């Protein structure tokens, strides 16, 4: 048969954040308004990964509001505090923690005022939900959050919170190699099924099953999208994306010469979300951005080996390279 199928597997672990002791901090401001809404300010830039939605969900959960009642202002250098770069799979973890803790501080102010108005002697028994502050175990005794915020504003107070979260890591010892360069770590395993045409060298990726430990999936649809997007990048990395250089100059600086996968190149992707609670993350969450693409290429190359018995040690695995390897194998 000219076409042969193979299955390959690859696993990774990946450290979240800048790592190795490099300063890694994110800040957030939160305010609860007298119309029962809240605003989150953070410098974190949403470049399509859905971080604004995640921050809104975190704030809504912490403040007992609907997601649609939370406005996230991000990436505005005039108004938002620094939250570092959208890189290193760090925004859900690092800025998510900053948003959660800023909300906790704003909530503290809210609950202290509500406790006085409700006539209770502690905030410990107060709960936020459905836009209300109510007494746990006695939900009939409640105040609307918007009413508490309004009276606070008329009294000269604002329900504000701010927080800077710093990810903890230590630089590796140059002599012993010991240390804690990252925290937390993401883990993943992907399985690839491919079909290799032994006459043309063309590889078709038929299916990728991608299992990722994300701590807690705050936004399941967003996590699945991240996994599928990472797989797309991994397919390109493995098979078609090739930067051509001539004495340091890029010969293919546009997408007419530097090929990336289109929807027609995508295999069936089966994302599997593993939720292993991360105690240092916001509601147990970790990042999933870069880990989603890391195992894909290795799994594909292992599947090619399973299909036709050749080891690819350079990428992309173009038809020319695969045909040359198959030819060498036959001659041997």
* Cβ atoms of residues 6 and 196 within 8 Å: yes
Polymer length of the chain: 332
> Taking a C-beta distance cutoff of 8 angstroms, is the pair 288, 223 a contact?
yes
250 shares its domain with 131? no
Is 199 part of any domain? yes
CA-to-CA dists, residue 230 to 6, 172, 204, angstroms: 21, 29, 17
Within this chain, do residues 148 and 38 fall inside the same structural domain, yes or no?
A: yes
DSSP classification of residue 255: T
CA 42 to centroid of chain Cα atoms: 16
Residues 53 and 127 in one domain: yes
Are 207 and 282 part of one and the same domain? Answer: yes
Instruction: Kindly state whether residue 298 falls inside one of the protein's structural domains.
Output: yes
* Residue 218: per-residue pLDDT: 97
Q: What is the CATH number of the domain that holds 43?
A: 3.30.365.10
Total number of domains in the chain: 2
Q: Are 307 and 210 in contact (CB under 8 A)?
A: no
Helix axes 319-331, 294-308, angle to 10 degrees: 40
Question: Which neighbouring-strand residues pair with 189?
Answer: 11, 211
pLDDT per position as a tens digit, 64-123: 999 999 999 999 999 999 999 999 999 999 999 999 999 999 999 999 999 999 999 999
**pLDDT tens string 108-126:** 999 999 999 999 999 999 9
Q: Do 42 and 85 belong to one domain? A: yes
**CA dist 56 → 5, 16, 84, 179 (Å):** 45, 21, 18, 35
Q: Residue 332 has what pLDDT?
A: 67
In a domain, 281, yes or no: yes
In a domain, 180, yes or no: no
Query: Do 69 and 156 fall into the same domain?
Result: yes
Mark whether 326 and 192 lie in a shared domain.
yes
Tell whether 321 is covered by a domain: yes
Domain boundary among 136, 166, 196: 166
pLDDT at 331: 77
Among the candidates 111, 137, 166, a domain finishes at 166
Neighbouring residues of 109: CB distance < 8 A, sequence distance ≥ 6: 152, 157, 159, 160, 161
Q: pLDDT per position in the chain (332 positions), as tens?
A: 689 999 999 999 999 999 998 999 999 999 999 999 999 999 999 999 999 999 999 999 999 999 999 999 999 999 999 999 999 999 999 999 999 999 999 999 999 999 999 999 999 999 999 999 999 888 899 999 999 999 999 988 899 999 999 998 889 998 998 988 998 999 999 999 999 999 999 999 999 999 999 999 999 999 999 999 999 999 999 999 999 999 999 999 999 999 999 999 999 999 999 999 999 999 999 999 999 999 999 999 999 999 999 999 999 999 999 999 998 888 76
Say yes or no: 9 and 38 in one domain: no
> Residue 139's pLDDT is what?
87
The residue from 134, 166, 198 where one domain ends is 166
Question: Using an 8 Å Cβ cutoff, are 187 and 278 in contact?
Answer: no
Indicate the pairing of strand 249-250 with strand 38-42: unpaired
Helix (H, G, I), strand (E, B) or coil at 288: coil
Verify that 197 and 275 share a domain, yes or no.
yes
**Do residues 191 and 326 share a domain?**
yes
Q: What's the domain range around 240?
A: 3-16+185-331
* 189 shares its domain with 325: yes
Residue 173 is assigned to a structural domain of this protein: no
Nearest to 212 by CA among 285, 116, 301: 285
What local confidence, expressed as pLDDT, does residue 1 receive? Answer: 67
Is 174 among the domain residues?
Answer: no
Catalytic residues: 290
Residue 172 lies in a domain: no
- Residue 41: per-residue pLDDT: 98
Q: Residue 228: how many CB atoms within 10 A of its CB?
A: 16
Please, which residues bridge with residue 166 across strands?
25
**Strand 268-274 versus strand 203-213 pairing type:** parallel
The answer to whether 130 and 143 are in contact (CB under 8 A) is no
Mark whether 137 and 31 lie in a shared domain: yes
């Amino acid at each position: 048969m000219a076409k042969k199928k193979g299955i390959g597997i690859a696993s990774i672990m990946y450290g979240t954040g800048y790592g190795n002791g490099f300063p890694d901090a994110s800040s957030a401001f939160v305010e609860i308004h007298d119309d029962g809404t809240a605003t989150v300010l953070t410098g974190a830039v949403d470049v399509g990964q859905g971080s604004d939605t995640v921050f809104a969900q975190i704030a809504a959960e912490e403040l007992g509001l609907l997601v649609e009642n939370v406005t996230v202002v991000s990436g505005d250098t005039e108004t938002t505090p620094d939250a570092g770069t959208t890189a290193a799979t760090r925004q859900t973890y690092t800025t998510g923690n900053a948003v959660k803790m800023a909300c906790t501080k704003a909530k503290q102010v809210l609950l202290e005022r509500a406790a006085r108005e409700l006539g209770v002697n502690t905030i410990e028994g107060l709960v936020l939900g459905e836009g209300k502050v109510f007494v746990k175990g006695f939900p009939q005794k409640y105040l609307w959050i918007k009413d508490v915020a309004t009276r606070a504003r008329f009294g000269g107070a604002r329900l504000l919170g701010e927080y800077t979260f710093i990810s903890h890591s230590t630089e590796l010892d140059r002599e012993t190699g010991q240390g804690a360069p990252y925290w937390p770590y993401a883990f993943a395993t992907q399985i690839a099924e491919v079909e290799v045409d032994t006459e043309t060298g063309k590889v078709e990726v038929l299916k990728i099953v991608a299992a990722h430990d994300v701590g807690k999936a705050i936004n399941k649809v967003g996590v699945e999208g991240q996994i599928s997007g990472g797989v797309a990048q991994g397919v390109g990395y493995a098979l078609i994306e090739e930067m051509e250089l001539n004495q340091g100059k890029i010969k293919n600086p546009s997408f007419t010469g530097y090929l990336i996968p289109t929807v027609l190149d995508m295999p069936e992707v089966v994302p599997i979300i593993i939720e292993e609670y991360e105690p240092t993350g916001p509601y147990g969450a970790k990042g999933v951005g870069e880990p989603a693409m890391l195992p894909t290429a290795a799994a594909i190359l292992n599947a090619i080996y399973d299909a036709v018995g050749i080891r690819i040690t350079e990428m992309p695995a173009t038809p020319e390279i695969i045909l040359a390897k198959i030819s060498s194998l036959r001659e041997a």
